[in-house]
Amino acid sequence: MYELKDRDKIIVYTGPDGSGRKSVAEAVGQTFGMAKVISFVTRAPRPGDVDGQDYHFISHELYKQMERQEEFLESVEIDGDYYGIRGLDVELGLNKYGCIYTVLNRDGADILKNMYGDKVIRFFIYADRRTVEERERKQGLDESIIQKHLSHYDHDMDYRSSCEHAVENFDLGQATYEISNTLENYLQRGLIDKD
Ligand SMILES: Nc1ncnc2c1ncn2[C@@H]1O[C@H](COP(=O)(O)OP(=O)(O)OP(=O)(O)O)[C@@H](O)[C@H]1O
Ligand SMILES: Nc1nc2c(ncn2[C@@H]2O[C@H](COP(=O)(O)O)[C@@H](O)[C@H]2O)c(=O)[nH]1
């Protein structure tokens, strides 16, 4: 486990698939100039997924090898595929920026919270079920994937009360602004005009 410095912060975006966690995370990340930690995954890329940008897409064998080498800070199985973030990436990001962000399911968010306590700030991003479904259809996701995601919607929503902050992503600009203001209270970067 990587030892965090006093001011280090790990921002975790979680919530139901399709609620807009990545969109919000990237917009806020740009505002604050913080590093995104890209997950390693064994699932196949979907149309539009970019290797090295959305995920590091790797084989099951390589994932298991990295796991044996204890490279992952957290690692979970979701619907038969493995997902994890590498300790080294977290360490490098924190050394450079003092703050990193990542998009995780609730199990991964719990793992990091249990490891690093107050240094982990969880933003629960949500939208109602119909909105999530509509967004995923519009994105052109395969119907089987949409149904898989919707099958965990209620379980994902139940995690809301465990998170430090919950933000509805109806309007992307508004959600980004709200989160940026909240984060500014933690990071004190003097970046946000609150008027
Ligand atoms: N406020 C919004 N209004 C309309 N569309 C949105 C909004 N936020 C995000 N979207 C769109 O919804 C889709 C899902 O967003 P995004 O990929 O950010 O969600 P996610 O929670 O990270 O889900 P997943 O992990 O399943 O990709 C994308 O096409 C994105 O452009
Ligand atoms: N615990 C972790 N969860 C992760 C990680 N990378 C992504 N995710 C979450 O998995 C689901 C499924 O993602 P999909 O892209 O296959 O639809 C979603 O909730 C992601 O946020 C990770 O490294 N660890």
Q: What is the pLDDT of residues 127-161, one digit of tens each?
A: 999 999 999 999 999 999 999 999 999 999 999 99
Answer yes or no: is the C-beta of 27 below 6 A from any ligand 2 atom. Answer: no
Structure ipTM: 0.98
The pLDDT assigned to 193 comes to 61
Q: What pLDDT, on the 0 to 100 scale, is given for residue 189?
A: 84
Ligand 2 center–CA 6 separation, angstroms: 28
Asked, for residue 164, whether it belongs to a domain, the answer is yes
Residue 144 lies in a domain: yes
Q: Is 105 within the bounds of a domain? A: yes
Ligand 1 nearest-atom number relative to CA 19:
21
Name the residue with the closest Cα to ligand 1, atom 6: 20
Residue-number span of the structural domain to which 103 is assigned: 9-36+87-184
So what's the pLDDT on residue 42? 98
73 lies in a domain?
no
To the question of pTM greater than 0.95 for the whole model, the response is yes
Q: Is the pLDDT of residue 15 over 60?
A: yes
**Span 67-97, pLDDT tens digits:** 999 999 999 999 899 999 999 999 999 999 9
2 pLDDT above the threshold of 60: yes
Whose atoms come closest to the Cα of 136: which ligand?
A: 1
Give residue 108 CA to ligand 2 midpoint distance, Å. Answer: 8
Whether the CB-CB separation of 123 and 162 falls below 8 Å is answered with no
Quote the number of domains for the chain.
Answer: 1
Which of 86, 105, 114, 157 has the most ligand 2 atoms within 8 A of CB, as the residue to mutate? 105
* pLDDT number for residue 3: 81
Q: What is the pLDDT of residue 67?
A: 98
Task: Please report whether residue 180 resides in a domain.
Answer: yes
DSSP characters for the chain? Answer: -PPPPTT-EEEEEESSTTSSHHHHHHHHHHHHT-EEPPPEE-SPPPTT--BTTTBEE--HHHHHHHHHTT-EEEEEEETTEEEEEEHHHHHHHHHHHSEEEEE--HHHHHHHHHHHGGGEEEEEEE--HHHHHHHHHHTT--HHHHHHHHHTHHHHHTTGGGSSEEEE-SSHHHHHHHHHHHHHHHH--S-----
Query: Of ligand 2's atoms, which has the minimum distance to the CA of residue 79?
Result: 12
Answer whether 21 contacts ligand 1 (Cβ < 6 A).
yes
Distance 104 CA to ligand 2 centre (A): 5
Averaged pLDDT of the chain: 95
- Which CATH number characterizes residue 26's domain? 3.40.50.300
Residue 50 covered by a domain: no
